[in-house]
Chain A
Amino acid sequence: MNTKFPERSFPVFSPVAEHSVLVEFGDRIDRDIHAQVLRLNRALAAAPFDGFLEAIPAYASILIRFDPLLCDHAMAVGKARQLLDHDLPAVSKPNLHEVLVCYDDALAPDLAAVAKSIGLSCEAVIKAHLAAQYDVFMYGFAPGYAYLAGVPQRLQLPRKPAAMRDVAAGSVLIAGPQCLVSTLTMPTGWWNIGRSSTRILTDDAHKPFLFDVGDRVRFRRISRAEYEAGK
């Protein structure tokens, strides 16, 4: 175990089945690496090539899917390289979203445990969580599960040893540098520090998901009464 890989020189292009190319810009979670993912993501959206179907951005990589009847791996790699070699138009400021969160004891079952294990008060944990600005790095796991990077260093904890069942939709969860607001009732091993009344799955046909990858998020504290009124 723990074999070291030979250094790879990024970007790395790998064929996937008969329909995709995976473009990797690094092998760790890092803002600069993610910025390159966003750059190719934007370039593909602005200038999709013939046969392009969709692009799936992740932390350090982006998958480019194409129609194998119209395109092949070599063509897709060629197009991606061409886009990367060109200067892209200036990036507009990322959208900033405000997500409402209630930290009431009943809706924040792990808040006290988080506070205890890092030696802070619950209020100090809340303050630190609210002070940070988060980046939408990717979606994954389930519909609308947006992985937000930016949890302050002192709030970073490894996930719990065992998953909790039936964690409610809308839970504000943290693990390591990541935060997410769940959209479904699901088991999770992440720390549940609050509940949000903000809907990530918006039910708006024109904008069904609140965030796009690359957007920014800040949390705003609400009372239990505001939560109940807004949910």
Chain B
Amino acid sequence: MSEAILSVSFAGPHVSVQDGGRAGLMRYGVPASGPMDRRSFAAANIALGNPADAPGVEVSLGGLALECVSGTVSFAVAGGGFIVEHAGSRRSSWSIATLRAGEKLTIRPGPWGSWCYLAFAGRLQSQQWLGSAATHAISGFGGGRLTAGARLSIADPARHAKREGGIPCPVSARPRQQVRVVLGPQQRFFDAAAISAFLSENWSMTDAWDRMGVRLAGPAIPPQAALDMPSEPIVRGSVQINGDGVATVLLADHQTTGGYPKIATVLDCDLDSFVQLRPRDAVAFRPVSPAEAISLSRTIAMGTSAYLHAIAGKGRDARAET
């Protein structure tokens, strides 16, 4: 069995191995984890001819630098407007190229976006937990965080010459400054003025972010009643308001239950674009009815599926050369 070996020379915080995630275990305190921007992650894999949920590397605003120690392997970079430097050339994310022994690859933040994905034509060898390589940040379970000195091994690496070049970046991959929410399920803790402030004021992202969630800056909207509710389930997208009235949007590695009231829940189909906002970017919340939420999510799912189908087609006839 052939393999390609890469050595990590630098990795910023929150750079980790992810895959499609471990859904269905929230009842045991385990969130799904997986990529923050699931659509861009799938794009990187699909564009290479991989299954959409194959293990890959999630790169944060901290960036990543690595060197190919041995072997030859094609790779795809998708997500955000990051800058990719490879073997002396410079391109944007949303591209496919081939990494050879001795070559360096650097991915760092560019004009937009907070998360970028690196997928390989081959099987990234990674530790699994409960059937998934997705890294759960606070426990470190799964494939794990990448740090300087780490080695990545890719089994059965392939070179996909015909797939090399750009991957179309869909409009839906851009950050969204207006995200749709369904109010509740604990909006009863808030008076009309607080709900109106939540929906009409401009909020912004802060530096207090990680894979568990992002704190927002905006008006204080403290709950109007004692915080004595028994802990209730939390989902990815829950907008939780603490006792001081500060809002946090829970994300991929969220706690599965919590005792703070959730004023609203961001639609799951808007979260991939929401997480691409950067600290200090403005964001506003637009309420939709549950029925509108369902219909938006179906429309967006159709668009994503058509997009992934289209990029899978490119190079489908290409023969892998090893």
Known contacts A2-B225, A17-B268, A138-B231, A69 near B301 by CB under 8 Å: yes
The answer to whether B27 and A60 have CB atoms under 8 Å apart is no
The answer to whether A1 and B224 have CB atoms under 8 Å apart is yes
The answer to whether A18 and B290 have CB atoms under 8 Å apart is yes
Chain B's closest residue to A15 (CB) is B290
- Give B contacts to A, CB under 8 Å: 23-30, 130-131, 136, 138-139, 141, 181-182, 184-185, 188, 224-226, 229-233, 235, 237, 255-258, 265-269, 290-291, 293-294, 296-298, 301
Q: What are 22 A-B pairs with beta-carbon distances under 8 A?
A: A1-B226, A15-B293, A16-B235, A16-B265, A17-B181, A18-B290, A19-B235, A19-B297, A29-B230, A56-B27, A58-B232, A60-B230, A69-B298, A69-B301, A138-B231, A139-B27, A139-B29, A139-B256, A141-B255, A142-B138, A143-B29, A205-B131
The 0/1 profile, CB within 8 Å of B marked 1, for residues 39-60 of chain A is 0000000000000011111111
A227 at the interface (CB under 8 A from B): no
The answer to whether A18 and B230 have CB atoms under 8 Å apart is no
- Give A contacts to B, CB under 8 Å: 1-5, 14-20, 22, 24, 27-29, 53-63, 65, 68-69, 72-73, 138-147, 184, 186, 205, 208-209, 213
Chain B's closest residue to A208 (CB) is B130
A-B interface pairs (CB < 8 A), number: 141
By a CB distance below 8 angstroms, the chain B residues around A53 are: 23-24
Closest-CB distance, B193 to chain A (whole angstroms): 13
Interchain CB contact (< 8 A) of A14 among B24, B130, B181, B184? B184
Known contacts A54-B23, A54-B24, A73-B290, A140 near B268 by CB under 8 Å: no
Complex-state Cα separation, A73 to B182, whole angstroms: 12
| 7 extra A-B contacts, CB within 8 A, seeds A17-B266, A18-B293, A205-B131 | A1-B225, A16-B235, A17-B265, A17-B268, A59-B232, A63-B232, A142-B29
Complex-state Cα separation, A144 to B25, whole angstroms: 10
The answer to whether B233 and A58 have CB atoms under 8 Å apart is yes
By a CB distance below 8 angstroms, the chain A residues around B24 are: 53-54
Chain B's closest residue to A2 (CB) is B226
By a CB distance below 8 angstroms, the chain A residues around B136 are: 143
Complex-state Cα separation, A68 to B322, whole angstroms: 41
Complex-state Cα separation, A99 to B90, whole angstroms: 58
Known contacts A68-B298, A138-B231, A56 near B268 by CB under 8 Å: no
By a CB distance below 8 angstroms, the chain B residues around A73 are: 290-291, 294
Known contacts A18-B293, A58-B230, A140-B255, A184 near B265 by CB under 8 Å: no
